[in-house]
Amino acid sequence: MNTKMSRRSSLRTITGGAVALAAVSSLPNGLAVAETTATSKRKGAINHSACRWCYNKIPLDELCQAGKEMGLQSIDLLEVKDFPTIEKYGLICAMVSGVPGGITDGLNRLENHDKIARFFEETIPIVADRKYPNIICFSGNRKGMSDEQGLENCAVGLKRIAPLAEKHGVNISMELLNSKRNHPDYMCDHSVWGIELCKRVGSERFKLLYDIYHMQIMEGDVIATIRESHQYFSHYHTGGVPGRGEIDETQETYYPAVMKAIVETGFKGYVAQEFVPTRSDALASLRQGVQICDV
């Protein structure tokens, strides 16, 4: 028996082993192996996440498993009840959800403050204990209210919550959303308004979730805004314009340049994919998005 392996057979063995490892990573007991595959090795300048709601058809366990393999460190927009699931896979929730009233009934109405404050009082210590960085909040819709009155009311509510966030080291992050296409009448729909709110609250623990998709629709000038005002942004979301599909060559924003601008500001937080996959293989679209943003 010839004990010497040819170069070609050696390569076949090595390649076959890599394929086997990739296959094992898709199994329930293959989680540790997944971290050793080539696809999980990212450059490290961007901390990658993905928004849960964009992949609701995929069980959370399956999304976590696939996400870990492709280099995700987080799943965004989960509630406290979901934490045990993601922690099984060594993931975190970089932007926690669940605030009462959701997008439309937010902090711009004084009558909402008590229930929102109770949510944060209950949730901030839990999130801090896990060292997760952010909890989302919303301005709410205008419903005839002036932007100035909304600023005043939001500042009152946020000043009530901010001391607890400061004590525990958790960011309260208000999302910037577009009111042109997706969220008609939403108040926090321009970065200038959100930044003014940050200034009025005056807490290092109140910042903005800068959604690139939404702000490209409302105001453009994304890279310059990030460079000039990054100190007010705790988190970033992606999405293709137009249509909120994949962030590839089918849309108008060149994400590698945006990501490089974010990295150049010294940002150490998370960037979450929040596009809605248009292709049949949603996880392949997510993998592509992560790769595009991996600068």
- Quick check: 190 pLDDT over 60? yes
What value does the mean pLDDT of the chain take?
90
Residues 202-211: tens digit of each pLDDT: 999 999 999 9
- pLDDT score recorded for residue 2: 42
Q: Which domain holds residue 17?
A: 1-38
Percent of the chain at pLDDT > 70 equals 86
How many domains is the chain partitioned into structurally?
A: 2
Q: Are 22 and 47 members of one domain?
A: no
Angle 219-221-223 (CA atoms, 0-180°, nearest 5)? Answer: 135
Residues 16-65: tens digit of each pLDDT: 444 333 333 333 333 333 333 445 689 999 999 999 999 999 999 999 99
- Quick check: 11 pLDDT over 90? no
Q: Are 14 and 142 members of one domain?
A: no
| Cα 281 to Cα 278: distance, rounded to the nearest angstrom | 9
Task: Work out the average pLDDT over 255-270.
Answer: 98
Q: Are 107 and 24 members of one domain?
A: no
Q: Are 108 and 19 members of one domain?
A: no
| Cα 53 to Cα 76: distance, rounded to the nearest angstrom | 9
Helices 147-168 and 191-201, packing angle to 10 deg? 50
If pLDDT is split at 50, 70 and 90, which confidence band does 265 have? very high
- pLDDT score recorded for residue 14: 37
Task: Work out the average pLDDT over 208-231.
Answer: 98
Q: Are 60 and 195 members of one domain?
A: yes
Identify the CATH number of the domain in which residue 277 sits. Answer: 3.20.20.150
Helices within 130-281 (DSSP H only): 147-168, 191-201, 212-218, 222-229, 255-264
Residue 211's DSSP bridge partners are 237
Residue with tokens 């590839």: 248
Q: Are 285 and 166 members of one domain?
A: yes
Q: Are 4 and 69 members of one domain?
A: no
Lowest mean pLDDT among 12-16, 140-144, 217-221: 12-16
Residues 62-118: tens digit of each pLDDT: 999 999 999 999 999 999 999 999 999 999 999 999 999 999 999 999 999 999 999
Q: Are 22 and 58 members of one domain?
A: no
- pLDDT score recorded for residue 40: 60
Q: Are 108 and 254 members of one domain?
A: yes
Segment holding 74, helix H or strand E? strand 74-76
Q: Are 164 and 57 members of one domain?
A: yes
Q: Are 66 and 118 members of one domain?
A: yes
Q: Is the pTM of this model over 0.85?
A: yes
Question: 91-110 burial by CB neighbour count: b if 16+ within 10 A, else e?
Answer: bbbbbbbbbebebebbbbbe
